[in-house]
Amino acid sequence: MNSSPAPQAFHRPPGPVRIAAIQTVSGPDVDANLDAAAALVAEAAAAGAVLVALPEYFPLISTDESAKVRIREAEGDGPLQDFLAATARRHGVWLVGGTIPLCASVDDRVRNSTLVFDDQGRRVARYDKIHLFGFCRGEERYDEAATIERGGEVCCFDSPVGRTGLSVCYDLRFPELFRAMGEVDLIVLPAAFTFTTGRAHWEVLLRARAIENQCYVMAPAQGGRHPGGRRTWGHTMIIDPWGEVLACREEGPGVVLAELDPGRIAEVRESLPALRHRCLG
């Protein structure tokens, strides 16, 4: 697998471009999950998407939290990374690879990592999830820190859709991360929000990030009932810089498509120059 960075540098596209967010309902069978993801990426590419994004944990969701440790890969070497590179190359799309487990500094944890591949299958960016989810309410308990080592670096990259920032799921609750990205055209946030927290907070937080950063937000999500009983919120969506939801899929596997219009970004920022009016930070 060629993981060298792409030599090209992109600026904001001259006109609208199509982007696609994938929704899955992943389970413990990695091969089945990859087959499902491949079919959905193919559907997005056939619909004209230039950039496609998969959800968090797309290769594996299991009731056994240590399962992700057992399939972890070294950076640049492994079947999950090969799958992402080959899929991007096969369909000629830029692919934001949800998250996959990469090796951490200790053997019993992983990095929850988003890798981006260009349309030639070359890796161009990596982001390791910084904020680790913890939740406890009655029988519902989550502690990502038990199996995941957090990242520490903000990641942005240039693509055919413009300047793009990466974040993952629980990161959504920490607006300082998005401010640290600077001015971006698109924020991508692969996620696996729980049904409980998603129903209460998912859409309002996504729309807030789009409004306050005056950019598009694309949030590919896990959405449905998984083997073992876990339920994720879904509602994969794409939001414009004014905070309007352009497209949404509530539940079940599928493709969410929308146009990213650089003219819309410019219009919003010119009419309401909030980014230029910032006084703190």
Selected residue with higher pLDDT from 186 and 139: 186
Which residues form the catalytic set?
A: 56, 129, 169
The tokens describing 232, both together, are 């994720």
What was the pLDDT predicted at 281?
75
173-196 pLDDT, tens per residue? 999 999 999 999 999 999 999 999
Answer for the pair 26, 63: CB distance below 8 angstroms, yes or no.
no
Mean pLDDT, residues 201-205 taken together: 99
Residue 114 has a pLDDT of 99
Cα–Cα dist 183/215, whole Å: 8
Residue burial 97-108, b: 16+ Cβ < 10 Å; e: rest: bbbbbbbbeeee
Q: Residue 112: what pLDDT?
A: 99
pTM of the entire predicted model: 0.95
Q: Does 103 score more than 80 pLDDT? A: yes
User: For helices 79-91 and 30-46, what crossing angle results, to 10°?
Assistant: 20
User: Which of the four pLDDT bands, split at 50, 70 and 90, describes residue 11?
Assistant: confident
Residue 171 confidence (pLDDT): 99
Task: Tell me what the pLDDT averaged over the chain comes to.
Answer: 96
Report the C-alpha gap between 263 and 48 in whole angstroms: 19
pLDDT in tens, 206-236: 999 999 999 999 999 999 999 999 999 999 9
The rounded percent of the chain whose pLDDT value lies above 90 is: 93
Residue 4's pLDDT is: 41
At the top level of CATH, which class does the domain 17-270 belong to?
Answer: alpha beta
Structure confidence at residue 6 (pLDDT): 43
Q: Which of 222, 229, 246, 245 is nearest to 40 (CA)?
A: 222
